[in-house]
Structures are given as structure tokens and as C-alpha cells.
């Protein structure tokens, strides 16, 4: 399983994007199988993509898009034929809506917020083909954006 987390900071009276990403740093072929998204009450939508850079242009393939306010469960990926390889990136965007008069920061309590993706994957062969190093990554969150993280050709 791979997890991607963004350190959330949701300003008061705002709609904001909490963006992050993780690069695959091992020479493995991962076949995404299912994903789960998680936020607390401010999360409106969580979208995850596989990003593969070719000749300087990012090609985006949807892994999954789901409201975190729906049932918390693993759901099949949108494109089961898309694989993750060395130097591909998992990009994550959580859309947050904060209608309160206080800023909301990262935290485990229900009055805090989170932006997380958990993705199950399979590999051909035995366990040596699984990721052997880190399978979790953390992004700093705002003011970082998909653009400032170095992505281009970002889907609307």
C-alpha cells in the first residue's frame, strides 16, 4: 500500500486546494488496484493522478476522484491498465471548503483537517517486487500548488 498525505492549512471563509505529490523512486512496476481518500469535515473532493513526464510534458492519468464525505472504503481505480513506474508521480489534490471564521490546520482531531490517499497495488512476481523503501510520503501543503511543485499540463 502507498499513502500520500498533504499538510493541510485551510483558511477561514475560503475554498482552497491542498496539493501534494510523491515520486516513485524505485525501479518497480506497480499496478494500482484500489484507493481510499480521507479528509475531515471540510473536504469536498479528493483527486489522485499518475503523472508521467515525457519530453518535458506531464501526461496525467486519473487514478481516482471521490468525495471524502461518502462512505470510507476502498474503491476500484478509474484506469486499471495504468501502471506506476520509476520516476512517475502520484499527484493529489484535496478541495476544501471552510465557511467558519477560524483557520483549520492539520491534525488528528475532528476539528482539524487531513488530506490523505491510500492506494493498494499489486505486482507481478513475489514480495521483492513490492516497494522496499518508503511507501508513504508527505507534502508540505499550502502555499505549495501543483504548479509550484513543478507539474505542467495540469488537467482542469
DSSP 130: S
DSSP 127: G
pTM for the model: 0.92
> Above 80 in pLDDT, residue 129?
no
> Above 80 in pLDDT, residue 8?
yes
What does the block give as the cell for 76?
Answer: 476500484
- The backbone region for 100, taken as left when phi is positive above 0, alpha when psi lies in -120 to 50, beta otherwise, is beta
d(CA 146, CA 154): 8
- The backbone region for 56, taken as left when phi is positive above 0, alpha when psi lies in -120 to 50, beta otherwise, is left
Quote the percentage of the chain above a pLDDT of 70.
100
> Above 80 in pLDDT, residue 20?
yes
> Above 80 in pLDDT, residue 128?
no
Question: Residues 30-48: what's their mean pLDDT?
Answer: 97
Peptide bond into 14 cis (omega under 30): no
User: What pLDDT shows up at residue 42?
Assistant: 96
Half-sphere exposure of 156 (CA within 13 A, CB side): 0
- Single out the residue of 12, 6, 11, 2 nearest to residue 146, CA to CA: 6
Question: Residues 120-124: what's their mean pLDDT?
Answer: 91
> Above 80 in pLDDT, residue 118?
yes
d(CA 30, CA 24): 9
Q: What confidence tens digit (pLDDT) does each residue in 55-93 have?
A: 999 999 999 999 999 999 999 999 999 999 999 999 999
The mean of the pLDDT values for the chain is 92
> Above 90 in pLDDT, residue 17?
yes
Amino acid at each position: 500500500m502507498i499513502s500520500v498525505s498533504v499538510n493541510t492549512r485551510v483558511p477561514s471563509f475560503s475554498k482552497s486546494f491542498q496539493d501534494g505529490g510523491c515520486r516513485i523512486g524505485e525501479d518497480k512496476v506497480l499496478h494500482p488496484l484500489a484507493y481510499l481518500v480521507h479528509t475531515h469535515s471540510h473536504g469536498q473532493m479528493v483527486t489522485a493522478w499518475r503523472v508521467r513526464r515525457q519530453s518535458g510534458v506531464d501526461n496525467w492519468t486519473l487514478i481516482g476522484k471521490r468525495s471524502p464525505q461518502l462512505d470510507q472504503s476502498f474503491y476500484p481505480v478509474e484506469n486499471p491498465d495504468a501502471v506506476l513506474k520509476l520516476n512517475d508521480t502520484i499527484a493529489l489534490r484535496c478541495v476544501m471548503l471552510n465557511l467558519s471564521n477560524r483557520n483549520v490546520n492539520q491534525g488528528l482531531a475532528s476539528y482539524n483537517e487531513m488530506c490523505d490517499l491510500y492506494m493498494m497495488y499489486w505486482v507481478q512476481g513475489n514480495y521483492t517486487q513490492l516497494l522496499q523503501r518508503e511507501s508513504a510520503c508527505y507534502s508540505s501543503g499550502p502555499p505549495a500548488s501543483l504548479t509550484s511543485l513543478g507539474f505542467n499540463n495540469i488537467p482542469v
